[in-house]
Amino acid sequence: MLKLLKSGFFTSIQDGGRFGYLNKGVPVSGFMDSFSATKINLLLENEPDAALIEITMTGPTIEFEAPTYICLGGAEMSVTLNNSPIQHFKVYKIEQGDILSYGKLKKGFRNFLALKGGIQTAPVLASRSQYYPVTDTNCLKDRSEVPYDSVTTFDPKISEIKVDSFLDETSLEVSQGPEFNQLNDKQLEVLFFKDFKVAKENNRMAYQLADTIAGHKISMLTSATLPGTVQLTPSGKLLILMKDGQTTGGYPRILQLSDKAISILSQKKFGDTVSFKLFKI
């Protein structure tokens, strides 16, 4: 077990996602920034989709009750192991009683902490990702205990990597969404030539953008939505659905973010700016 002495702002268990229940309205969930999360799993020689801990804005303080190996990555945060600073994308050995403590957020928004062998909570509907009401809660609380298998020896093939950071990247690669062709020239111009600020309303379900474009009167029948789908509300608000986003919706789906763009956006917080760059499928 590991124990959260302090849970942080929003700390949850996530894996590669929950598949097979989209037609029951269950979102896919999973790592918000799968680019960073899969990398640290690979350093620990875990399956790329193994369950880990996703940390948002302010991180937790964690006590380990058994030996293991860890690796962290994603948002740049000051993290200490028994009061000594540690680096991102590097494997560290953990002994029983060690304390990992997250400090200041320096860049980005979400950090990931992986353990050798992955988190061992019981899967629900074929995934360990926390999402209420599939799991009992959607995040970990103070004093939450999280199970993992004790590992005493591990000799990583590669113990650290240099990752090209995309945390400063603001351009989101998008393809045309199903209702893209219903946009008018004025809307298109603003969409691709303006920067958009991330609104206060941003979480694992959706990112709202504070800047708007012209509204519309497009009416459509409810249809599927995906992580990375950009919806346009009648009043001209842009909503970007993320990993816990609803599986269907009735607003026009004007753009679709690439996988990399979802990772880039998930590292943005209130007030950061993004822009859209169209690519052709």
Partner 1 sequence: MSRYSLSIRPFGVHAILVEWPQIVEEAILEDILQFTAHLKGNCLDSSKWEIVPSYNSITLIHREKPIDFNDFKKKIESWYAEKFVTKPRQKFLWRLPVCYDLEFGIDLEEVSQKLNKSIDEVIELHTSFQYTVYGIGFLPGFMYLGGLPTALEVPRRAEPRLHVRKGSVGLAGKQTGIYPQESPGGWNIIGNCSVSMFNPKSETPSFVNVGDKVQFYSIERAAYDLHKIEGEVGIYKLEKIKLDA
Q: Which residues of 192-209 are buried (b: 16+ CB within 10 A; e: fewer)?
A: eeeebebbeebebbbbeb
Decide whether 17 or 67 has the Cβ nearer to partner 1: 17
Regarding 223 and contact with partner 1 (CB under 8 A), the answer is yes
Residue from the set 6, 10, 21, 201 that interacts with partner 1 by CB under 8 A: 21
Q: Where are the beta strands (DSSP E) in the chain?
A: 2-6, 10-14, 52-56, 61-64, 68-81, 84-86, 92-94, 99-115, 145-146, 171-176, 196-202, 206-209, 223-224, 229-232, 238-241, 248-249, 253-257, 273-278
CB atoms within 10 A of CB 171: 12
DSSP per-residue codes, 213-244: ----------EE--TTEEEE-TTS-EEEE-TT
Binding footprint of partner 1, residue count (CB under 8 A): 36
CB atoms within 10 A of CB 238: 22
* Segment lying near partner 1 (by CB under 8 A), choices 38-46, 144-152, 247-255, 264-272: 247-255
Regarding 246 and contact with partner 1 (CB under 8 A), the answer is yes
Smallest distance, partner 1 to C-beta of residue 20, A:
7
Per-residue string for binding with partner 1, 27-46, x by CB under 8 A?
Answer: x-------------------
* Segment lying near partner 1 (by CB under 8 A), choices 2-10, 13-21, 68-76, 157-165: 13-21
Smallest distance, partner 1 to C-beta of residue 279, A:
10
Give residue 246's identity as a one-letter amino acid code.
Answer: Q
Alpha-carbon 92 to chain mean position: 23
Residue from the set 105, 257, 265, 274 that interacts with partner 1 by CB under 8 A: 257
Smallest distance, partner 1 to C-beta of residue 226, A:
6
Smallest distance, partner 1 to C-beta of residue 82, A:
38
Question: Binding residues for partner 1, per CB under 8 A?
Answer: 19-27, 124-125, 133-135, 175-178, 220-224, 226, 228-229, 246-249, 253, 256-259, 281
